[in-house]
Amino acid sequence: MTTFDKREAAEENKFALDAELQFKARARRDRLVGAWAAEKLGLSGQAAADYAASIVTTDLQEHGDGDVIRKLKADFAAKNVAVSDHQIERTLAEKMAEAAKDLKVKG
């Protein structure tokens, strides 16, 4: 294996690791956002855990945050919970930062 081949393999491994960490961070963020939303929706215990898991599943439907935002808005509207778009987006950003920090510490 040449030096170039080794460098190429190292870059491919780094890319794969970065992608895996990003996926884990998004899943963790979604669970944290789901727990936040569950509390606002008056859910607790297993119902809150199930709701948080549903946010993770929802995020797998399409690229980006649109699918999660639509679900949160619909669920808040169905329960007459007043949460602004700005608050949802801010919470997504805050929970992503928290998830990334958790993964760096635990990872």
Could you list the residue range(s) of the whole structural domain that residue 94 is in?
Answer: 3-106
17 or 32, which is more confident? 32
CATH label of the domain that carries residue 40? 1.10.790.20
pLDDT category at 106 given cuts 50, 70, 90 is: low
43-53 in b/e form (b: 16+ CB < 10 A) is: beeeebeebbe
Cα(58)–Cα(101) distance, rounded to whole angstroms?
23
Q: How many domains does the chain have?
A: 1
pLDDT digits (tens, 9 = 90+) for 75-102: 999 999 999 999 999 999 999 999 999 8
What pLDDT digit, counting tens, does each position of 26-69 carry? 999 999 999 999 999 999 999 999 999 999 999 988 889 999 99
